[in-house]
Amino acid sequence: MGKRGELVKELKEKFDPIVIQRDGNRCLICGSRANDVHEIISKSQFSTSELENCITPKNMVSLCRMHHSISQGDKHASANLLRALAKKYKYDYADYPFSWYVTEE
C-alpha cells in the first residue's frame, strides 16, 4: 500500500466510527440500517495532500447500500447530501470544493 492508501486507511479508521455514531448507524436518506460510510465528494477529487479535507465527518455520511450505489459519482446527489448535512449538523461549506457543490445546484 502506498502513502495515499495508508493515509486513506488511517483517516477512515479514525472517522468512520465517528460518522456512524453521529448518524446513529442509519442511512441519512431513508433511515434504514447503514452499511457504508460514504465520502460525498470522492477521494479522487482530492490530491494526497488534501485528503484530510476529504476524509472528515463534514464530507462523510452513513448510507445503506442502495443509496450508496445511487449517490456514487452523482454530483446532484452529492450536492443534496452536503445540503442535508449542513442543515442537520450545521456544517459550513463555504470553502472549495464544497462551495461549488452547495451553491451550483
What's the number of domains the chain is made of?
1
Q: Structural domain of residue 63, as residue ranges? A: 3-104
Distance CA 72, CA 59 (A): 13
Query: What value does the mean pLDDT of the chain take?
Result: 92
Percent of the chain with pLDDT over 90: 73
Q: Enter the pTM of the model.
A: 0.90
CA distances from 68 to 6, 47, 48 (A): 23, 23, 23
pLDDT band at residue 104 using 50, 70 and 90 as cut-offs? low
pLDDT band at residue 66 using 50, 70 and 90 as cut-offs? very high
